[in-house]
Structure 1
Amino acid sequence: MIKKQLQLSHFILIGLLLANLLVYGPATGFDFVSYDDGQHVYENSHVQDFSFSNLVFFWKQPYQNLYIPLTYNLWSLLAKLSDIFPGESDQALNPHIFHMANVLLHLLSTLVMFLLLKRLTNYDWGSAAGALLFALHPVQAETVAWISELKGALCGFLSLTALWQYILFSKSGPDKKKLHYGLATGAFLLALLSKPPAVVVPLIAGIIGYFLLEKSIRKTVLEMIPWILMVLPLVLITKLSQDDSQIGFLPALWQRFLIAGDAMSFYVAKLVFPANLRIDYGRIPEYVLQDSSIFMTGIIPIILLAAILWKFRNPWLLAPLGIFIVSLAPVLGLLSFMHQNISTVADRYLYLAMLGPALGLAFLFQKIEQKRAMIILAALLLIYGYSSAVQVRTWQDSSTLYTHTLQGNPGSWTAQNNLGMEYFNAGNNVSAVKHLSRAMGVSKNDYNTARSMTNLGMIYGKALQDYETAIRYLSEATALNPVLKEAYINLSTAQSLAGKDSLAAATLEKAVEMIPTDPEVYTELALAYSRLGKMEKSVEFFQKAAHIKNAAAR
């Protein structure tokens, strides 16, 4: 009997492997996209130049408003592999290696999901169904196919591993408890260093411990104390690295509950009917609050949750529901975060949260006779597998990604702005100006408007040599966003090209005042004074730039 169960488990694991490769394998041949891949990877000198000092750099301070040193170190390692296995194009880095890492991590997460579910349900087919739901649901395509979301894939794998080992710790004998708890704690620590949303893992473990492993609240809390202590420093670092001034709109406290309820309604809808998936849903807080349906989408989920908690005591219902909600809690809008300038909701935020539905499906399969369960499993594989395979292909390159987004959401500022820059890089300035102008028109906050104005100003100045138009756009961009470095630098460049070197220096003086910790603005100001022949001032600001760089490197 045991031998047959092992054979069945091995058969299922092989099936999960093949299903993942069939759906996500094509992603390994995709290119980088300009949607964040540049700032994280292919334009990031700390990643491209593999060295001990650059590896350590990411451990010393947050980078790009995130403290994810483990993820950046993995990207650095993949960049080094690009030197050994260069791609076919003239790119410095081989994108296929980076895509392979994402696919591999998702595959490993799927296998761990199966093992985790099997430990909780002791039912192979139910666990297979849950693992397949996690693996092939179309909302997962964003995390798997987007190089920048290696952080989510890595965090997800390590978080699931921590939870799996915690379950083994809870179910093992005294001789193995320390081993499994140590592995769980180590995996959780690494997850925290991969992406901040791992902070919810102790809460998920607590839900599993209390509802499914039948532990007392006291025992569960005691087991989680070391994990909670690890969370606190990361929460502090993350909070200090986030600049609320860069968030276009900060809703009132009572409004945040409506936004969170609306986000939950959105996620449940996408979970049940995953159609029209895209990188930008445009559901920024201002838009959501102005929509008259907010009192339905925002309040109904809260009422339903209260009713479920009041009426039901079944742990097989409460545990999956609790895991789903807790996993999404950091990104529901109760706390403001940077991506809300684009949209409160995003497919990638569901990655770890899919543990909840996967667990619920695994439990449901225990109530269904095997023949019917197999039919459901086959249908799940075909429907979600096909949908995911189609969704993955929208990530093959930047133009495909943005064009797909605009087909579903013509008002996407992200897609209009980034597609405009794609046209600019391809030398099509007319189309670039058209899409960037549209981006300004659909922008819902000053932060995004300023970025599109900066891009337009740069094109008018550098490509079209219309310096007065460039200066007009860039001046307005600095007024809308007084800490947008690129606006100041491009404005000073346009002013200098227009023969207004003194004005260019004054612009950069303002930039130094507004962004005093960025060495690039000091360097640009030094160059501006050099053009004016003020060498003493030029040397002064070169030295200040070097001082800031050296301080950051220490």
Structure 2
Amino acid sequence: MNYNIHRHKNILICLCLAALVSLVYWNVQNHDFIYFDDISYVVKNDHVQKGFSYKGFLWAFTTYHASNWHPLTWLSLMFDYELFRLNPAGYHWTNVLFHIANTLLLFLVLNRMTGAIWRSGFVAALFALHPLHVESVAWVAERKDVLSALFWMLSMYAYIFYVERPGVKRYLPVLVCFSLGLMAKPMLVTLPFVLLLLDYWPLGRTPLSVVSRQSSVEGEACHYRVSLEKSAAGRLVVEKIPLIVLSIFSSIMTFFAQQSGEAIAPLRHLSVMERIANAFVSYSGYILKTFWPTDLTVFYPHPGTWPVWQVSGSVLLFVGITVFVLWRVRSYSYLGVGWLWYSGTLIPVIGLVQVGSQAMADRYTYVPLIGLFIMISWGFSDLIKKWRHRKAFGGLLSGAVLTILMILAWFQAQHWKNSITLFEHALRVTEGNYLAHNNLGMALKEQDKLDEAMAHFHSAIQIKPNYEPAYNNLGFVLTLQGKTEEGILFYLKALEIKPGNADVRFNLGEALVRMGRVEEAIVEYREALKLKPESPVIHNNLAVALTRAGNYYDAVKEYREALRLQPDHAGAHNNLAMVLAHQGYLEEAIGHFREAVKLQPPYANAHYNLGVALEGIGLTDEALVHYQKAARINPAYGDTDHNLLKGSR
């Protein structure tokens, strides 16, 4: 009877948790992709947009794209593309479903380990609804957070079954789940450390463990409490060695990935003392935002040097909590586990090894906050356990807290509707946010609000004069406005700051072509290809420039390479066909023209050129059909004088 009641409570709590998460994130189905990683992860990622394939699988496991090695994340996004193409609603709902799964698994894992159903449920509810977690759920590019956390939870669940009856067969699922998690996001490297904490509490496997067989709240018996024998500390460490080896391997791969993308800040930019100061400020900042989750944003600029008072206060807070935990840990084991969970799992992203230019990030708290939530839930229960009306008071206060968090999370999720709402909010709640200015400018540029975009790019440069992306974007907008010479100056400034930027090299090449400086453009395209040798767009545009320079032999080679990399590139088929036709290879040219209009039926230029080629071999009737199609698509082709084969880009 008790078992059935407990099972029904589990089901009810799971249903409530799933419903609450769905309610908070319901509107994400109407959200767009964001001009911050979503572009490189999905919108302009040719590999992801090819869906599942053998080449895509190899790319996922061998690439350091976006300065990360997370093949499972890439495969997940490829799967989404197969289902939803470029409809962002599907990607967003996938993230939400992963978040729901993580929430339910967290509840089930804690409940199975402790038998404390309501406290486990409260931890899961805090995890589900806290506004700090909105970034991980509402941002498509943070698929790696929710996906890796899924395997973190599954690893813990598998670990419970292993410790009940240790053996190779039961250890293997832990190893597999952990491996998959590392391939989704390397932040899981701290899981072996957390499993050692769980050995201490609540599993009670260490000689130092003090674990009650009964919940500290009357009437909340440990129906599923795992029954274990204590083990020597050395044995507990030894059984984690395979997991530690995997963590080391993942850390090495991540280091090379971030080095390749120049994501790691060198010591000359941030000294050791500045990194330590930022670590303490981040630790305290996350704690404060846990209890007062306001002014949350996508990017917190790193100030370089923090004020002394802020560093001192952060150190005092961190040391004070640590001393308190050490003082009470023998009586309240969960305090030590929760605090070490929080502080330990943050180490890879706390800023000692500075990756990126942010001081801190909401997404980094996705798993670490579970430690604080355990301290809060179990600590609150112990605090009121002798109160006369503890159940009513505890229920009312918990409900009020969750309601407030739910409302705050809902509003926070609305900021993620699109790039403009997101970065306008970032500018409201932070100061000196050069990245928000730049990315807001990019979003405005897409809406053809070029003057507003330029104002934000200039603001970014005023805040951070060596911020290369803003110079690149200014060059691009000026070129769009016809101020190509001025745009070139900004491209050159961007290259002065970061010579190894393929996108800037490419944009500069485009601007030089516009100015008729084709030979200079060819040089820039070739430099861009050294940095991005597998870009079909760069190969195609280099070939166009070579064609204009009269170098047809090299142009054909570049077009063929572009088509090898992207066989469905209609523009490259059309352009290659034009060169082949010019060289007299009409049959082969016609084949490429046909492929171009097959891939892109409303391609007026290709229809017209196909008509010219067909007329050249005497197929005038078919030629007329394509002339007419070209004219219907673009009336400018109505007067077909048959003079020139027109290029397309």
- In the superposition, the TM-score normalised over structure 2's length comes to 0.76
- Structure 1's unaligned 5+ residue stretches are 83-91
Whole-angstrom CA distance in 1 between matches of 2:137 and 2:327: 38
SS at match of 2:65: coil
The corresponding residue for 2:136 is 143
Which structure's residues are more often helix, by fraction?
A: 1
Deviations 1:403-431 (A, max 9, x none): 22122125322221111111211111111
Q: Does 1:233 align with 2:249?
A: yes
Whole-angstrom CA distance in 1 between matches of 2:263 and 2:517: 30
Whole-angstrom CA distance in 2 between matches of 1:329 and 1:298: 16
Whole-angstrom CA distance in 2 between matches of 1:61 and 1:546: 21
The corresponding residue for 1:264 is 283
Q: Does 1:185 align with 2:175?
A: yes
Amino acid at match of 1:414: L
SS at match of 1:44: coil
Amino acid at match of 1:93: L
1:284-299 paired onto structure 2 within 5 Å: 284=302, 287-297=303-313, 299=315
Amino acid at match of 2:14: L
User: In the alignment, which of 188, 194, 206 is matched to residue 184 of structure 2?
Assistant: 194
- Structure 2's unaligned 5+ residue stretches are 207-231, 385-389, 568-649
1:10-29 paired onto structure 2 within 5 Å: 10-29=11-30
1:296-445 paired onto structure 2 within 5 Å: 296-297=312-313, 299-301=315-317, 303-304=319-320, 307-308=323-324, 311-314=327-330, 315-337=333-355, 339=356, 341=357, 343-367=358-382, 368=384, 369-409=390-430, 411-443=432-464
Q: In 2, are the aligned partners of 1:109 and 1:160 still within 8 Å (CA)? A: yes
The corresponding residue for 1:65 is 67
Farther off after superposition, 290-299 or 412-421: 290-299
How much does 1:220 deviate? 1.9
SS at match of 2:359: coil
Whole-angstrom CA distance in 2 between matches of 1:133 and 1:319: 18
How much does 1:544 deviate? 8.3
Q: Does 1:473 align with 2:494?
A: no
Q: In 2, are the aligned partners of 1:460 and 1:469 still within 8 Å (CA)? A: yes
The corresponding residue for 1:85 is none
Whole-angstrom CA distance in 1 between matches of 2:135 and 2:535: 34
Amino acid at match of 1:106: H
CA distance 1:221–1:122, shift in 2 (3 Å) = same
Farther off after superposition, 377-386 or 17-26: 17-26
Whole-angstrom CA distance in 2 between matches of 1:32 and 1:74: 16
CA distance 1:542–1:241, shift in 2 (3 Å) = farther
How much does 1:435 deviate? 1.4
SS at match of 1:344: strand
CA RMSD of aligned residues (A): 2.6
How much does 1:249 deviate? 5.4
Amino acid at match of 2:48: V
Total equivalences in the alignment? 527
Whole-angstrom CA distance in 2 between matches of 1:522 and 1:239: 30
How much does 1:512 deviate? 5.7
Q: Does 1:491 align with 2:505?
A: no
SS at match of 1:120: helix
The corresponding residue for 2:636 is none
Amino acid at match of 1:103: V
How much does 1:517 deviate? 5.3
Whole-angstrom CA distance in 2 between matches of 1:247 and 1:417: 21
CA distance 1:75–1:512, shift in 2 (3 Å) = closer
SS at match of 1:465: coil
Whole-angstrom CA distance in 1 between matches of 2:203 and 2:95: 32
1:48-59 paired onto structure 2 within 5 Å: 48-53=49-54, 54-59=56-61
The corresponding residue for 1:86 is none
How many percent of aligned residue pairs carry the same amino acid? 25
Q: Does 1:458 align with 2:479?
A: no
CA distance 1:94–1:548, shift in 2 (3 Å) = closer
Farther off after superposition, 483-492 or 503-512: 503-512
How much does 1:43 deviate? 2.0
Amino acid at match of 1:198: L
Q: In 2, are the aligned partners of 1:121 and 1:362 still within 8 Å (CA)? A: no
Q: In 2, are the aligned partners of 1:132 and 1:381 still within 8 Å (CA)? A: yes
The corresponding residue for 1:133 is 126
- In the superposition, the TM-score normalised over structure 1's length comes to 0.88
SS at match of 1:381: helix
Amino acid at match of 2:407: Y
The corresponding residue for 1:88 is none
Q: In 1, are the aligned partners of 2:338 and 2:371 still within 8 Å (CA)? A: yes
CA radius of gyration, larger in: 2
How much does 1:217 deviate? 2.4
